[in-house]
Structure 1
Amino acid sequence: MQPDIASQVALFLETRIQVKEALMPVLDEPVPDRLSQSVQRMIDEARRRSVPSHASRARVVALRAGDNQVMPRPQASWIMPLAASLVAVAFGIGGYFFGLGSQNQPHGLEVAGQDSPLSEALGQLASGEETVLAGSTDRLRAVATFRDGAGSLCREFEIDSANRSTVLSVACHSNNAWAVNFAVVAPARDGGYAPASSTEALDSYLAATGAHEPLSRVDEAAAFRSLGRGEE
């Protein structure tokens, strides 16, 4: 990571007030063309590869542990600015993620290096478990593993940083790499968990992408073994 980018990232994560100030104005400002095009590609690809049933068009089950709340699909009028703002947040988060989609991974933010601590944890850590990422004090919490509407293996996870902010993220595996398709920053509550209000954007994202129910422990373990064999 270049020094000037690293400095911006450090400033971005310094306090939860700065996080809020960095995120809120984005929703009211025009979306940059490059960012808008990247987000639109993700949305178009998800729609093209997904064929939702009548039932899934009418409702979606939010993928929160122990939560079977039924929620409506988000309105298209605000999907783009919301998604763009979330991608912008992910673009500025530490050394874990880098770059808007490359030729091989055009629909998200690629996890920084497939040998990175985050990448390794996404392919190994069982849902419900936590670990401290090597080389840092940041704690990763694996929330759930599921398939999106296109059938890609995805992981919902949280990263708690030393400054008491929490990054809620979803990364999906394709082309032999993890790509972060969603990320939002929220100040953490006591105990490290993000406030419930911060999950609303996540639930809307899951609804828009046709996310399936979380995999069982057995199915999750089988999916991890498939990744180890180079299978999607």
Structure 2
Amino acid sequence: MTIDPATLMAYADGELGAIDAKRVERAIAADPALAVEVDRHRALRARLAGSFAPIVEAPVPERLSSLLDTNVVALPRPTRPARAHWREAAALAACLVLGLLIGIGVSRDGQVTGRDDGLYASGSLAAGLDRQASGATGAVRIAVSFRDRKGAYCRVFSTAATDGIACRDAGGWALRRTQQGAGPDQNRGAYIQAGSTDPELMAAAQDMMAGQPLDAVGERAARAKGWR
């Protein structure tokens, strides 16, 4: 029985119905490697929850709460998209964003630079990737840091304009995946809501990881070595 990664993550998150959950449980019983993947995903969620807990518990800035009080519009609840083909959808979204970024050359505040060998972080994004700790607030928010299967350091990031995954190479922070940002716009300042990282972006990061994500000690050591 084959269980695709998206279904396995949905099971780990408790999002499957009873019938689909039983199907996954039978597959896990037959393949211990699936149980390892479920445990890995749950451990990553727990680590992220711990990192963001202080931010979640902090009061919403007054400038945002006033907007919420006066500009609330009831919207229909969105229908949850099918997860079976999330990789294809994510790849298409990444291509669209890449085309937009290449078309304008760089982002509004110079966060992205186009080169012959691809897109690289620059300006405030590059600085945030270099120095920002996971879970800290700011114009650049880092969700998690990890090593990919080739040994490079990578970081999942969010900004007002762009969310994505950047990996360190000899040329700087190469943007491996990008999508439209979920952070604030210029009128809302640098506040970024905790827990807003796209789950499919986190799923892509999990697919790239070799082992577990870096903890705070591992991040400090990596920063001290310039992420090399």
Could you state the TM-score of these two structures normalised by the residue count of structure 2? 0.52
Structure 1 position 204, deviation (Å): 3.0
Aligned to 1:66: 49
SS in 1 for 2:87: helix
Unaligned runs of 5+ in 2: 1-31, 51-82, 102-106
Structure 1's 194 and 224: CA in aligned 2 closer, same or farther, altered over 3 A?
Answer: closer
Aligned residues: 149
Q: Percent identity?
A: 23
Alignment of 1:114-153 (within 5 A): 116-131=123-138, 139-153=139-153
Deviation at 1:193, TM superposition (A): 2.4
Name the structure with the higher helix share: 2
For residues 111 and 147 of structure 2, the distance between their equivalents in structure 1, rounded to whole angstroms, comes to 22
**Residue aligned with 1:123, SS:** helix
1:143, 1:157 within 8 Å by CA — same for their partners in 2? yes
5+ residue gaps, structure 1, are 1-52, 68-73, 103-107, 132-138, 162-166
Q: Matches of 1:195 and 1:56 in 2, distance apart?
A: 25
> Deviation per CA, 1:78-114, whole angstroms, max 9, x where unpaired?
6355324214314535132233661xxxxx52223xx
Look up the match of 1:183. 178
Larger Rg: 2
Task: Show structure 1 runs of 4+ deviating over 4 A.
Answer: 53-60, 186-191
Asked if residue 88 in structure 1 is aligned to residue 87 in structure 2, the reply is no
Distance 1:210 1:218, change over 3 A: closer
CA distance in 2, matches of 1:101, 1:173: 17
Do 1:171 and 1:178's aligned partners in 2 also have CA atoms closer than 8 Å? yes
Report the TM-score when normalising by structure 1: 0.51
Q: 1:99 aligns with which of 114, 130, 133?
A: 114
SS at match of 2:159: strand
- Work out the CA distance in 2 between the residues paired with 1:221 and 1:177: 18
C-alpha distance in structure 2 between counterparts of 1:181 and 1:218, whole Å:
25
- Which residue of 2 is the match for residue 172 of structure 1? 167
Once the two structures are superposed, the pairs formed by residues 1-232 of structure 1 within 5 Å of their partners are 54=33, 59=38, 61=41, 63-64=44-45, 65-66=48-49, 79-80=87-88, 82-93=90-101, 94=107, 95-99=110-114, 102=117, 109-112=119-122, 116-131=123-138, 139-160=139-160, 167-185=162-180, 187=182, 192-193=192-193, 199-210=198-209, 212-227=211-226, 232=228
Q: Deviations over 1:113-152 (max 9, x none)?
A: xxx2321221111112233xxxxxxx21122211122221
The CA deviation string for residues 11-33 of structure 1, in whole angstroms up to 9 with x for no partner, is: xxxxxxxxxxxxxxxxxxxxxxx
Alignment CA distance shift 1:176-1:54 (3 Å): farther
Specify whether residues 79 and 96 from structure 1 end up closer, same or farther in structure 2 by C-alpha distance, changes over 3 A only: same
Q: Give the number of the structure whose residues are more often strand, by fraction.
A: 1
Task: Give the whole-Å Cα distance in 2 for the aligned partners of 1:195 and 1:126.
Answer: 15
SS in 2 for 1:92: helix
Residue 188 to residue 178, structure 1, CA distance change in 2 (3 Å): closer
Output the aligned Cα RMSD.
3.5
Question: Residue 22 of structure 1 corresponds to which residue in structure 2?
Answer: none
Distance in 2 separating the partners of 1:221 and 1:207: 21
Relative distance call for 1:98 and 1:78 in structure 2 (3 A) is: same
The whole-number CA distance in structure 2 between the counterparts of 1:174 and 1:83 is 22
Give 3-state SS (helix, strand or coil) of 1:130's partner: coil
2:111 maps to amino acid: Y
